[in-house]
Structure 1
Amino acid sequence: MKAVTLKQLKDELSHKSANELKELCLHLSKFKKENKELLTYLLFESHDEEQYIQSVKDQNEVLFSEINTKSYFYIRKSVRKILTLNKKFIRYSKKKETEAALLLHFCACLKDFKPSMKNSARLTATFDRQVVLIKKAIATLHEDLQYDYQLELEELLNE
């Protein structure tokens, strides 16, 4: 089966009643965990972005505290997993402020992590890539927010 285009889906959904749309959403949420997570964000968390950001930050801190530090292989693998989760939560929000805040927090956690990321070229490269993405996200924000996030980024890089 080949998937139809987004426009075709949009047109077809416009012909459905509210009850039919509700049933489609519930049916869709049964198939993938990501679908259910996205619906949870849209229905319960999108109205309070600050709380959403804080909950993701708290989850990051817990995940960083649980990393197996026996070797850099396990550290790198865990860091990639945390970053993948972060990217997923950023995709749900679609807001550049959220992206900048979550990536800044991720980088701060990575920089504070012991053993140091400086002993691993791959972890350092991951950190550097995220800094580039943070700069891109900051560039699209309002001037006041740009200034605040830029200060936070400079503080992170100068530590």
Structure 2
Amino acid sequence: MKPATLAQIKKELNMRSSDELLNLCLRLGRFKKENKELLTYLLFEAEDEEGYVIHIKEMVDELYDGITNTNMYYLKKSVRKILREVKKCIRYSNSKETEVRLLLYFCEKLLDFKPSVKRNTTLMNLCERQLAMAAKQIDKLHEDLQMDYEEELNELNKELRKY
């Protein structure tokens, strides 16, 4: 089955009643966990972006605490899993400021992780790429916010360059 375009879907949704839309959303939420997570964000957390960021940071903290650091292979795998979760939450939010905050926080936690990952080229490259993505998004923010985040970005880059 070939999916319809977004324009076609939008046109069709405009023709539906509110009860039909409610049923469609509930049915959509039953099929995939990501659909349910997106609906949860849109319904309960979209108005409080600050609370959402705090919630995601707490989740990142828990995930970093849960890493078993006995083997570098499993450590890398866990860090990539955490990054996937962060990226998914960023996609839900669709806010540049939230993206910058979460990417900087992810990199900060990675650089502070014990045992140190600073001697691992793969993880350092991963951190470098995320900082570069954050830098791109910082350029799109308001000037006042740019200054605040650029300071934090520069400190993380300095820490990254130490090794």
For 1:158 and 1:7, the matched residues in 2 are separated by 46
Displaced runs of 4 or more, over 4 A: none
TM-score, L = length of structure 1: 0.98
* Root-mean-square deviation (Å): 0.7
Q: How does 1:123-142 map to 2 (within 5 A)?
A: 123-142=123-142
Shift of 1:152: 1.3
TM-score, L = length of structure 2: 0.96
Match of 1:55 in 2: 55
Amino acid at match of 1:113: F
Structure 2 alignment gaps of length 5 or more: none
Equivalent pairs: percent with the same residue?
53
Structure 1 alignment gaps of length 5 or more: none
Q: How does 1:55-94 map to 2 (within 5 A)?
A: 55-94=55-94
Q: How does 1:8-157 map to 2 (within 5 A)?
A: 8-157=8-157
| Corresponding residue SS for 2:31 | coil
Could you give the per-residue CA deviations for residues 15-67 of structure 1, whole angstroms, max 9, x where no partner exists? 00011000000000000000000000000000000000000000001100110
Could you give the per-residue CA deviations for residues 103-131 of structure 1, whole angstroms, max 9, x where no partner exists? 00000000000111122110011000001
Amino acid at match of 1:134: A
For 1:39 and 1:114, the matched residues in 2 are separated by 36
Alignment: residue pair count: 159
1:6 counterpart = 2:6: yes
Shift of 1:140: 0.4
